[in-house]
Amino acid sequence: MSSDLRTTPHMNDTAVSRGSSTARTLTIIGFVCAAVAVFFAPVVFGVGAIVLGIVAYRKGDHLGMWAAIAGVVGMVAGIALVAAILNSRT
């Protein structure tokens, strides 16, 4: 039997293998935490995003590192936003 390219499944470079769907879930939750960190409890959600991103990266999802970086950015942006709001009230 010859292999037909139209029926042979291929994975691209950014795809996650089937066994690491947990890693992809952690990455998605990490990105959500990073977004929430901008507006609510930046230290808690920012650190959560960093931890989740690193764990996902170690489990094999390369986007996990980007979730960790987004966590740092979200945390810094959230802290800056809180500082700006508190400074404007005085």
pTM: 0.75
Most distant CA pair in the chain: distance in Å? 77
Mean pLDDT within 4-17:
51
d(Cα 61, Cα 50) in Å, to the nearest integer? 14
pLDDT average, residue stretch 72-89: 93
Confidence at residue 90, expressed as pLDDT on a 0 to 100 scale = 62
39, pLDDT greater than 60: yes
Treating both helix axes as pointing N-terminal to C-terminal, what angle do 63-88 and 21-39 enclose, rounded to 10 degrees?
A: 10
Per domain, the residue ranges of the chain are: 20-88
